[in-house]
Every structure is written in C-alpha cells, then in structure tokens.
Structure 1
Amino acid sequence: MVDLSLGVWAGVFALSVLASFCVLWLAGVFLQRHANRSTPDDLPNLQSVFLFRGEKLADHDVLHAVLAQSIGQCINDWPDLRRWLQFRFRDLPDTLSSLSAGQSITFPDITKGSDASVTLTAQSASVSVVLYDPAQMEPAQRHQALRRNLELEDQNHALIHCPYPIWKTNKGGDVLWQNAASAMILSDEGVQPININENTGKPGEIHSARISVLLPETDDVRWFEVQTQRSGQDYLHYALDITKVIKAEAVRREFVQTLTKTFANLTTGLAVFDRKQQLALFNPALIDLTALPADFLSARPGLMSFFDKLRDQQVMPEPKNYASWRAQITDVIETASGGLYQETWNLPTGVTYRVTGRPHPDRAVAFLFEDISAEMSLTRRFRAQLDLRQSVLDKLDEAVAVIAPNNVLMMCNDACNDLLGIDPDTTFAEMSLHDLISVCSDKYPDADFWHDVQTRISSKTLSKSIRKSFGKNDGSQIDCLVSTVAGGTAMICFTARPALTRRLELPLAT
C-alpha cells in the first residue's frame, strides 16, 4: 500500500515537471515571436538617415512631424544640411561629389561627453548621411533641440552684451529684465528715470522719447533716445546714445543764432532757400531793400512765389512777356545753383540792385541783394569826369601821354596818337612804358635820352623835368618835356615849334 502510494506520487511529480517545462517552452516561443513582430516605433530610433542624389536631398526618415516639415522647408540640398549639422560636426566636406563610390567617412560630435556621429557613405548613385546618437530620443529631434538651445544662448549673450541699453518692464515700470549697458540709465532702485510707458499705443507701435541721465562719477549729462513698444502685457525699451547729436544740435542752434545776429547787421539783403526751394533764412535788410512784408517772408514762400512777389512790388525789372519771364526765373535758379548767376537790376525808381546767386551744400541757394545806387552814381560821375578830361586833352595842340605808376600808358590825347602813330583804344592789351618809349625812339631817335627817360620813370627817380628838342627836316622842331605828376604818375608832352622865317636884306641902290 505504501509502495503504491509512493509510485503514484512519483508519477504525479514527473507529470508536473513535464507540464512546467512545456509551459515555459511555449512561453519562450510566444515571447520570441512577439518580439519578432514588434515595430521600430516601439523602440528608440538611434539614427536618422538622409539620402542624397547628387547634391539634392531625395529622402529622409525623420519621424517627428513638425521637425520633418521644418526640414522639408529649410533643407533642400547638402549645403543646407551641412549648415544644420556643422555646429556639432566639424570638417564636413563642402560637396558630396568629393566622395568616391563605396567610401564611408565618420565625423564625431565635438561636444564633450557625446557619442553622436555623422557617417557619410557613398554609393553608385547616391550618398547616405546617417546621424547617430545613442540618446533616448530621435537623433534629428535631439540635434534640433540642441541647435535651438545654442541659438537661444547666442541670442541671450548678444542681448546681455549689447552696447546699447535694453530692458523690459511691466505696466508699473518695474524692471523685469535688463542687459549690462542699461545700468547707466536705470537708477539704483531699478526704475527708469522718467515714465515713458504712457501713450505707447497698440502692440507693435513704437513710442520714442528723449531722456537725459546724469552720471554721478563724472557729472556729465548723457542723452538717450528710447524707443518703447509693447510685448504682450509688458514693455520693451531700446535706448540709443544721442549725446553727440544733442551737442551738435546745440552747436548748430548757437551757430544759426550767431549768423542771424551777424546777418541782422548787414546792409546786404540775404535770402537763403533750402533744397526744397523754400525760404529758410532772411535778414532785416531784405525787408528794407525789397519792401516785402515780414509775414510773407516768415511763411517760407517758394522761390517762384518769392520772385513773383518781387515783381508785384516792382523791385525787379518789369518783364515784357510773363511766360518768358517765368522761364528766365527758372534759368536764374538753375544758374545760381551752378554758382554763376550775377545780374544788375536797374529799377524805374532809379535804384540799382546787384543780385548775386550763390550755391550752398545740399542744393540750397542763397541770393544776395545789394543796393549799389550810390556806387553806380559815383561810377557814372567818375566816368563823366574821365570823358570830360579826355575831351579837354583832345582839344590841346600839344601831344600828351600819361604813364600810370605801374608803368602802363594811362591815357593820351588825339594829338599824341597822330604824332606817334598809335591808337591804344583799339587794342585790348595795355601799352607798357617800354612799348611807348620804343615808339618815341623810332619817331625821334636818341638812344641815350630815351633810355634815361625810361630808367627814371620806371625806377621813380624822376625828381625834376627833362627837356629835349628834336629837329625836323623842314626846319621845325619838336620840344619834348618829361615831368612827374602827383601819385607817381609821369607825363610826356610833345610841342611842335615851326621853323623861323628870315628876312632877306637887299643892298640899297647908289
């Protein structure tokens, strides 16, 4: 009975062991088959493959939808992919055509502690670029994340070390972020010196304001132009140092004020027109000379309106034809822009103006109005006196030649022209003392005398008069008198003396 029980138990134990073995074997087979049926999506993808035909991207196996779309838009050929990869993988070839068929090159990641790599394998008609990264995510996705982090770091570094102040505030003016250069603008409490958040408008609109900051260490005042725009519920501020601009504007204002004071004391009328041909500057003398209303000039009229007003005020010669006059004014403007315009206006009132147009930088034009009536009157009187003196000299029987202090023939009368056979008025060239002495020497030869005359006149050593008589074949004589006149002027006079008549005495008849 005992033996039978032992046998039964032994058989049951054997069947149990056999059944357990079968179950374990079947479980192993099932798990193996299940493992064989697993898809790549169930395991982390350790590589991203890019296929190129020539230099163009033909295909890739990036599974991330957003990244795949970005790659499709931004990466079209090998240079694009090379730029995308080169911040981690250096020395990538410039072109894929440099690889020969069957050649494979691997480039390791330069990042410390990274086992990633890029392998280029050339085939007969294509080149595969494999991005391998043992990290637990898709290599292309991780590479894009690292690239984005690097870009953010570069941008943050650029903002922090930007030489121009940049900071961010909330609606209350509290500083949320600032770069190093903004320390000179923001106070110790971290609040900007004035409120520039008001009236900044809608998001995207830029509000500009100028602020001044006193630097305690140097007591210098720095000026900044701050541009503010909304960023969500906060404000971004960008400051530009315009201290030199402010100082230049102050110098310019002072210079203009100095010029204005100087021009105010001038008797010459001044009208300056800017590049838009609008009156930019005038002085009180212009009002006095032209009788133009001050309110008209202050309204900054244009050039044509200015000359139209002069015509209405009869301050310029009346044109015979209005259309041709307008064309003439246009020529005046163009000529003045070239720096060539100068004209004398003789008005019906007897007043004479000299109008000068001068060009200025940036296509500006300045017109100067001078009242030269007194000068013209004096010139006319002087010319009349000269004509009178010349008429008096021409009435004299003596031949007179006047030599100026610069040893040039100043004037001579008709008798001198007839005697010496000269006519200085018909030539543009001036007749020098040497030329005059040469003519006299040819007419009345005496080398020593004429040499002495020329030497004394040119050296201004003619202290007393010199006389000399020249005989003629008919028995008559020419008396020559060389003397000085006031102001270093010399005069040569020739007087003709007829021949003496002798009475014949006949003997008396016896």
Structure 2
Amino acid sequence: MAHAILLSMTIVSTATLIVMGALSIFAGLWRGKPRVDMSLAGSDHDAVFIFRGEALIDSSDGAQKLLATLRDPAQPAPRNGGWAVLQPYLKQHFAELETALSTLADKGQCELKSQTNSGLVLSARYHKGLTQLRLSDTNAEGALLAIDRLSFDAVQSELTTLRALSRNTPALVWKTDAEGQVVWANAAYIRALQEDSAQSGELCWPLPHLFDMAARDNVGRLELRRNDGTRWFAHSEARCEDKILHFALPIDAAVQSEASRRETLQTLTRTFASLPIGLALFDSERRLQVFNPALVDLTGMAPLFLAARPSFEQVLYTLREKRMLPEPKDFQNWRREIIEMEKAAEDGVYAEEWCLDGGRTFHVTGRPQPNGAIALFIEDVTTETALTRSFRAEIETMQKVIDGLGDAVAVFSRAGQTLLANDPYVRLWEVNPCVDLGDGGLTQALGLWSETCEPTTLWARLAEFVTRAEVSEEIKGSVAMRGGNTFAIKATRLPGGAVMIVFRALAQAVVTSPRTERALQAELINGPDLARQESEAARAVPAPERPRAEMSPRKPRSAVHSSTRMRV
C-alpha cells in the first residue's frame, strides 16, 4: 500500500515538472525580445540623460546638477540643448566617445570606462530613436560626499571667478590631451576659430587646431594668418596632469615695434656704412660693439680685429702701432692721456685734432651714449685743414695788402655792420671797429666822422647809400677835418651788397721855416746851371764856332713859384 502511494506521488511530481517546463518554454517563445529599460530608474547616484538625436528630452537630478555646473551662465543657451554642454566634458574622460556613439544604433548598448583613472563609467543604450547615457562614478559607490553650505558657496564663487576670467581674458587658452586633440578652449579661442575663414560651418568637438604648433619660432611665437593681415602670439604651455594647457598672448604691437626697430637699425647700418666719418661705439665695459667701414679705411685696422670686440685701450694701442696717433713724448704721459680721453668722452667734451706723420690730420670727437657707452668719431680733415690754412694765408696776405695802402678803407655790410677796417683807417680815426666788441657799425662810424669833420650832407648820403641797394653804384665827395686836413671820400658797392668807403688825403700846402727856405734859395743860386751843361753826346760832336761878337753875356733872371722857391 505504501509502495503504491509513493509511486503515485512520484508520477504526479514528474508530470507537474514536465508541464511547468513546457509552460516556461512556451512563455519565453511568446514574449520575444527582452524589454529595454529606458526610464530614469536607479538614478539616485548616477547622472542619466535621455536624448532624441542631440536634443535632451529628460534627465535625472544628478544629470541636471552636472549640466548646471558645466554650463556658463554668462553664455547663451546652446541651440542643441545639453548635448553641446555635455559632449566636451565626456570627451575629456572618454576618448572613444564618438566612435562608440556612431555604432550604438547597431549594437544597441555599449559601456565605456574613463582613461583618466577618474572611476567614471558611461553606459549607453539605444532604443526606438532614444539614446540613454548613464554616467556612474565607481569611486563614489557606497560613499556619501557631504559639504557644508559655506564650502559650497566658496566653491561656487571660485568657479564663477574662474569662468569670468576664462571668458574675458584676451589670451587664447586651450587644453590638449595626450593625442594632441583640443578638449577644452576658452571664449577667445572659440571666437578666433569662428573668425577664421578656413573653419567653415558649425564647430564641433574636438575643436580644430587654430595654430600650426610645428611652425613655432625659436622664441615661442605663433603666427596666425588672416585675410586682413597676420597676427602674432607669444605661446607658452603648462602641464595639467596628463593634459597640456596652452596660452597664446597677442603681441602684434611688440612684433610691429620689433620690425620697425629692425628696419631702423638696417637703415642706420646702411647710413653708417656710407658715412665718410669713422665710427666706433664702445659699451659701458669699453668693448667695441659697432664700427663702420670708414673706420677701417681711415685707420687701416683689420676688420677681423675690430669684429673681435677689442677694448678701448687695445684699439688705441693698435692705432699707435699703425702710426695713426700723434706720437707722444713719453709712454707714461700717453697712458695718462688715454685715461683723460676716455673720461672726456664720457662727459661729451672730447674734441681734438690729430696731426699725423705724412701730413694727414684727423678730427676726433668723443660723445657719451645711453647706458654708459661712448662713441668715437674719426674724420679725415686733411683737405679741409690744408684749404683752411690756404684761405687763412690768403686772408692774411690780403689784409697786409689792405693795411699797406695809403688810403683809409672801411667795409660795411648792407645791415650796417663793420666787416673790415685797415690800419690807415685805425690811425686816422683812432678806433679799431674790428676788435671792438661794442662796435655800433655804420651808425657809430657816422657819428665819429661828423664829430671830427666840418658839417656836410655827405654823411646822410653815405647812410642812405649803404642801407639802400637801389641807390647808384658809387658816390664821391670831400670833407674837411676840424684840424685842417682834407679828404676825398669814395663809396663803392661790392658784390653781395657790402659797401667799401675809401678816405684819401688831398694835397696840402708845404710849410717851411725861414731858415730852411733861405738854404734852398742859396743852393739854387750857387748851384750849376744844368741847362748850360753839355751832355756826353754834345762833347763828342764839336759844335761850330760862332763869332764872338754874336755872343752876349746871359742876364740873370728869376721866377717866383707857388712854393716860394726861386730858380736862377
């Protein structure tokens, strides 16, 4: 009996299991594909986003907080909703984001882990045109992050400040990952991209490169070519964990100033090269920094020696060896003169002429320069010196000739200034206007003449003649001095408007003493009659004899002349 009951129970149990298995298989086949959960369930600690295309249609509380943190309140809301804000953040942590999302519709779901060791995991699902992104922080599982209100406000304030700094700074700032992709950029960088004609269309992440980093020069400058010109930036970079922060500061004004300075320097260099004056510029340590070809031509110093930046003393020693310095009497005095020459050049008062062997003459000038430098100028004035000496000798000769004239001569300019007066003029009027610093020119001379001579209208005519060029080319007249002497005056106009006035003494009566007059009369009476003396030729040819009766004795005769002398 018991055996039969056990057997029946076994049969019933087996049948029940078979029926349940069949029902399970049938139910699985009838249900088809498993249902994809596209809700926000389980989003207490995860940030869940649901997109239709690039439009955000739903998000969890954590997702909304993340978007609020990432979005800049000062910037307008992006056209494609939260995807434009979320994508740069996800690209920083998931380098394969774009590849995974492009194949998500075929695969249905995928999972990405952050390459930055931040513990972030991104789970993506696609179903019927909807994309669910779930961002989980594996490092925060089972942990609760607590922050007080003051700390939160401080973090928010600092975040606001950093955002304002990034948004308003004129410098271009961007961040690149290990592969060189631009994963973050400030507003100035994005504006520069938008202004770049080569970047057509809407910008997307990763952002394109604005600069060619391989084209940096040796001083770290970047060049940005535009249709309206070329812009220059000073580039620097700083490592930020496994990424690199780049900074580009505009330096257009500095580059333009440098280009202008370079052009000015080239102009000065060409000018110095064409100068006939030798130039040597010494720095504050008295090392030669700049010289021109004229210095080599004048002094004969080798260009290689000058290019080696010799000292001030070495240059002077070389000049002495080449006999381009005046030979000193002793070496110690010459050393002292070098030191004095350097000090005088520092004060800007050194100027000297070097008379060299062979007749050459150098005019050397020392001038102070900024920062303690001095410039030495060497000019060959041999021709000028010889010409000056010739002119000086000619002037001295002409002055001697004028001084040797018996007439008193004075020359006045059109303005009435005294230009010349010879020695007879100085003796006549007892004044030398050429050495008198207080000389009043023609006005003073006319006053002196009118006081010394008898009244005449000639002085007024002379004043008009000197100051007015349209008057006749010369005037003549005579004046009598109060002492009795009489002078003929002639004023002649010279080239350039100057006027020469000549004072010539007229003939004076001869005044002799009675004793002298009697001696002259006796000499004339007792002296031989020159008219009756026979010449040598007359003695050689005998004259025919005349009858004595025809000859009669000569009677004495006398004649009184204006000079009171008597001839017999």
TM above 0.5: yes
Change (3 A) 1:428 1:331: farther
From 211, 230, 251, the equivalent of 1:193 is 211
Tell me how far apart the structure 1 counterparts of residues 452 and 464 of structure 2 sit (CA, whole Å): 19
1:467 corresponds to 2:477: yes
Q: Note the residue ranges of structure 2 that are not aligned, 5 or more in a row.
A: 1-143, 512-561
Tell me how far apart the structure 1 counterparts of residues 152 and 215 of structure 2 sit (CA, whole Å): 36
Change (3 A) 1:242 1:277: farther
- The CA deviation string for residues 130-179 of structure 1, in whole angstroms up to 9 with x for no partner, is xxxxxx9999x541343134223322432243221112223321223221
Letter in 1 for 2:344: V
**What secondary structure does 2:457 align onto?**
helix
Q: What's 2:176 paired with?
A: 169
Q: What's 1:424 paired with?
A: 433
1:327 corresponds to 2:336: no
Tell me how far apart the structure 2 counterparts of residues 296 and 437 of structure 1 sit (CA, whole Å): 67
**What secondary structure does 1:239 align onto?**
strand
Q: How does 1:353-502 map to 2 (within 5 A)?
A: 353-359=362-368, 365-430=374-439, 432-460=441-469, 461-470=471-480, 477-496=486-505, 497-500=507-510, 502=562
Tell me how far apart the structure 1 counterparts of residues 208 and 239 of structure 2 sit (CA, whole Å): 19
From 216, 224, 234, the equivalent of 1:213 is 224
**What secondary structure does 2:220 align onto?**
strand
Structure whose CA Rg is larger = 2
Deviation at 1:361, TM superposition (A): 5.5
Please say which of residues 354-363 and 396-405 is displaced more in the overlay: 354-363
Letter in 2 for 1:172: E
Letter in 2 for 1:191: H
- The CA deviation string for residues 354-412 of structure 1, in whole angstroms up to 9 with x for no partner, is 33344555665444332222112111111111111121222222222222344222222
Tell me how far apart the structure 2 counterparts of residues 194 and 348 of structure 1 sit (CA, whole Å): 64
**What secondary structure does 1:315 align onto?**
coil
Letter in 2 for 1:344: E
Tell me how far apart the structure 1 counterparts of residues 430 and 488 of structure 2 sit (CA, whole Å): 17
Q: Note the residue ranges of structure 1 that are not aligned, 5 or more in a row.
A: 1-135, 199-206
Tell me how far apart the structure 2 counterparts of residues 247 and 418 of structure 1 sit (CA, whole Å): 72
Deviation at 1:222, TM superposition (A): 1.3
Q: What's 2:161 paired with?
A: 154
- The CA deviation string for residues 267-319 of structure 1, in whole angstroms up to 9 with x for no partner, is 22233445665544433222212222222333344545444444444334345
1:182 corresponds to 2:189: yes
Tell me how far apart the structure 1 counterparts of residues 164 and 350 of structure 2 sit (CA, whole Å): 60
TM-score, structure 1 normalization: 0.61
CA contact (8 A) 2:300 2:322 kept: yes
CA contact (8 A) 1:352 1:373 kept: yes
**What secondary structure does 2:437 align onto?**
coil
Deviation at 1:503, TM superposition (A): 4.5
Whose RCO is larger (CA < 8 A, sep 6+)?
1
Q: How does 1:334-349 map to 2 (within 5 A)?
A: 334-336=346-348, 340-349=349-358
**What secondary structure does 1:423 align onto?**
coil
Letter in 2 for 1:152: L
Change (3 A) 1:313 1:463: same
TM-score, structure 2 normalization: 0.55
Q: What's 1:29 paired with?
A: none
Tell me how far apart the structure 2 counterparts of residues 146 and 471 of structure 1 sit (CA, whole Å): 114
Tell me how far apart the structure 1 counterparts of residues 219 and 180 of structure 2 sit (CA, whole Å): 16
Q: What's 1:266 paired with?
A: 275
- The CA deviation string for residues 79-138 of structure 1, in whole angstroms up to 9 with x for no partner, is xxxxxxxxxxxxxxxxxxxxxxxxxxxxxxxxxxxxxxxxxxxxxxxxxxxxxxxxx999
Change (3 A) 1:191 1:299: same
Q: Percentage identity across aligned positions?
A: 30
Tell me how far apart the structure 2 counterparts of residues 197 and 471 of structure 1 sit (CA, whole Å): 97
From 235, 241, 252, the equivalent of 2:244 is 235
CA contact (8 A) 1:304 1:329 kept: no
Please say which of residues 254-263 and 162-171 is displaced more in the overlay: 254-263
Deviation at 1:451, TM superposition (A): 1.6
Change (3 A) 1:161 1:455: closer
**What secondary structure does 1:263 align onto?**
helix
Change (3 A) 1:197 1:180: same
Q: What's 2:546 paired with?
A: none
Letter in 2 for 1:168: K
**What secondary structure does 1:424 align onto?**
coil
Deviation at 1:432, TM superposition (A): 0.7
**What secondary structure does 1:240 align onto?**
strand
CA contact (8 A) 1:483 1:492 kept: yes
Letter in 2 for 1:223: W
Letter in 2 for 1:212: E
Please say which of residues 350-359 and 289-298 is displaced more in the overlay: 350-359
Q: What's 1:110 paired with?
A: none
Change (3 A) 1:276 1:178: farther
Tell me how far apart the structure 1 counterparts of residues 398 and 219 of structure 2 sit (CA, whole Å): 76
**What secondary structure does 1:427 align onto?**
coil
Tell me how far apart the structure 2 counterparts of residues 387 and 197 of structure 1 sit (CA, whole Å): 74
Tell me how far apart the structure 1 counterparts of residues 355 and 145 of structure 2 sit (CA, whole Å): 95
Q: What's 2:556 paired with?
A: none
Q: What's 1:222 paired with?
A: 231
CA contact (8 A) 1:173 1:197 kept: no
Q: What's 1:299 paired with?
A: 308
Tell me how far apart the structure 2 counterparts of residues 197 and 458 of structure 1 sit (CA, whole Å): 77
Tell me how far apart the structure 1 counterparts of residues 445 and 399 of structure 2 sit (CA, whole Å): 19
CA contact (8 A) 1:173 1:195 kept: no
**What secondary structure does 1:166 align onto?**
strand
Tell me how many residue pairs correspond in the alignment: 356
Tell me how far apart the structure 2 counterparts of residues 346 and 259 of structure 1 sit (CA, whole Å): 30
